[in-house]
Structure 1
Amino acid sequence: MDGWINWQQAFHCFNMIEDAQNERIDELIYQLLLKIMPQLPDLTALHKRRLELDDEKYKNDFPDIVDEEVMRIYQILPLFHMFHMPSYCERSQRLITSYANALNTLSELGIGCMKIWWYRMNRRFFKNLVEILKNSVKLNLYEQYKASERETIDGDPNGVQLEYNNSNNHNVLNRRSTTNDSIESSNTPSSSNSRKHFVISRQIHYNLAVCLFALKRLYSVNKFTGKISHKDFYIHGISDWFDLKYDYYLWKSNRKKQPNVFFLCNYAFIFDPPAKTIILSADSEIQQNSAANLSIQKQILMSIPVDGTIHVNPYIDISVRRDNILEDTIHQLCLFSRYREADLKKPLRVLFSGEEAIDAGRGMKKEFFLLVMKEMLDQKYGMFIEYNETNTIWFNHVMTDDDDVMYRLVGILCGLAIYNQVSFFTNHN
């Protein structure tokens, strides 16, 4: 039992409908739900007034005011089997979208009531609702992906087209719709992997926006209740069907100018680790370009070159000796963090002393981080303790406050690795 709902009985009843496998019954329920969904009950300010007064006369004067209990229909409806889509189904999608839209258009009182019900809701059925909305988003994204691969909706007047152009040596981002709105950005780096034309049908665009907004409300409730894991909101494989890097560029440059425009990045709670890695990579690329441009601008403003040539290093250079790699790294990071912290946002370039190669690519950088971290985690420095039972390490609790500087440098080093899209594994055996 959950409050006034016996979930087991409700689940059993809807299972009986599904097990009957009667297409006529399914069709009748389907058509009825589509009809009543836009008219589902809501709570009003008048209802609040009646509760405050608790007056029978007031109640008799306004008999049409709904009671909170009728709001429980929002909890029960998703148990109907047609809300579940193993593959994309237009009929099921209409049900889910209508249901999500009904949730999204509730008054402040109505959604407040629903949040209370969700808070008290059985964990199993709360997760079921999350999965319904997640699955809808996933299947719509996949449908859009297949359509764009087939290029069947290219040039469709009923679509929303995102176009990437290079014009006058700066980047222009256009979000094309029937109104031909355009958005410009001068700091968005290009991506060779981005599709030049990204087209999405209006219906899928609407389905995504409505379902994600409803899912966001469930996520906000779950943040306080911890009813299910935050990982249960991840949509795995999302980066395979959607150009997240491009969406992030658009979102980054336009979220303040057009806060109501739909971007997938407004719903970051659905991103799984691979998706987050793409976002981090896109963000670091933007910041690295901005840091390099800022360095050039400062050089122009602060000095007038004698020969008319501006000498600016767009990289952060670290030169180390292999036999003294940790000390050299710490010394240079201390200097950067104290006097040239802004340079840490530039792309990293590593030079090993006595070797000709200087590398801004990932090969030498990865070797550099592997060697430094292996040295830093060595037991002789005592900064970390290794637990053989679990093959993990942790901070040494006996370290003093004076060692905070060293731990800060470890943090900077890890941040540089992530910022420069370098991933590595350190074996602690």
Structure 2
Amino acid sequence: MSAPMSCFHRTTGGLALVVAAAGPLTGCGSLLDVELPTRVPAETLDNPQLAATIVAGAVGDFECALTNYITATGLLGDELVESTGWIAVFTWDQRRIFSDNGNLASGTCTDLGFGLFTPLQTARFQADNALERITAFPDASVPNKPVLLATAAAYAGYAYTLLGEAFCEMTVDAGPLLLPPAVLGTAETRFTTAIGLATTANNTDILNMARVGRARVRLNLGKKAEAAADARAVPAGYSKTASRSTANERRWNRTYAEGQRNFYISVDPRYRDLRVGAVADPRVSTVDAGRNGHDGVSRVWFQRKYLSESAPVPIATWREAQLIIAEAEGGQSAVEAINRLRTLASLPQFSSTDPVEITGQVREERRRELFLEGQRLNDLLRFNLPFDTGVNPKGVAYGDTKCLPLPDAERLNNPNTNK
């Protein structure tokens, strides 16, 4: 299949896309608060007046996918543990996510468990489709066309980034199998497009979003000098977030909802009561919930990073850019970057001239600074850090899932992979 079925379906009448009734993109937060999903024929979207609506829909799809991704990979990695006893949740924590897992393949942002393939592919397809469709509109017919195109390209870049970081292999639009470097290479291309368009439009928000994204994928691809250059261009204090809302479940901050609302997840013990010397680290604030989860045995600890269902979720930040500089350049540049972030958090300064110690500290700062931002699984993989083995606290053996498999549903329905 060329994109997940929740994204579009083929009919004798042509392609039908899922979009939301919308207003201007500049009001994206309020627009997404009152989503009215509907299916419209693809040709209806060949209307320049709908350009902002199309892009807003792509943004909403990515934001939905991101909050699912953060919670799912937090369980698969080492940030969260499950406290439900329910198979749709505990298979993530037990690292038993196999290619025949229906939740992985077709689960949505609101299903029990954490579907990732469909939400991420939906976000990718919608952003790519917006980029292609709006490019074809006459310039004079689309107000703010460069900004809309830059936005679509940047969000496409982030969708490709998450697909490339989390999955062992991937396909795009019924194409051949792609390994992570190829998927991340496409992300880099999308970010480069966004940077060019945002520069033309003098839109610093999308420009810096794309700079952080390109720095991230370039670091993944081993392009350290280029990654550092992108990261150094990001101004202090920059932050791009995914808006969240209490309007409907699709708009919730999933990490908060599954913890504080539902008691389905708990902060992993490795992230409780973290300190720098004698000082509590505010970047990883947790609290004992005072009760067990639904399984009756797992003590629930709440994260305190997201304090409501409407708490926004970081996508691209100056904080991450500083950590990219630290990793890419090492040495005293890394020490200085670490200390800029520690100053922001009112933490004691770090001092070292030992390259091994500095490298280890950069990784530890990433673990804390980017807690529950969807970065940890990729760090475990690229740094070749150990995953839990043996049995979990409930006496169940861990599986061997590290990166996510391409779902059977995709492999068997794709003519390039079903042979």
TM-score, normalization by structure 1: 0.28
Richer in helix (by share): 1
TM-score, normalization by structure 2: 0.29
- The structure showing larger relative contact order (alpha-carbon pairs under 8 Å, at least 6 residues apart) is 2
Rg bigger for which structure?
Answer: 1
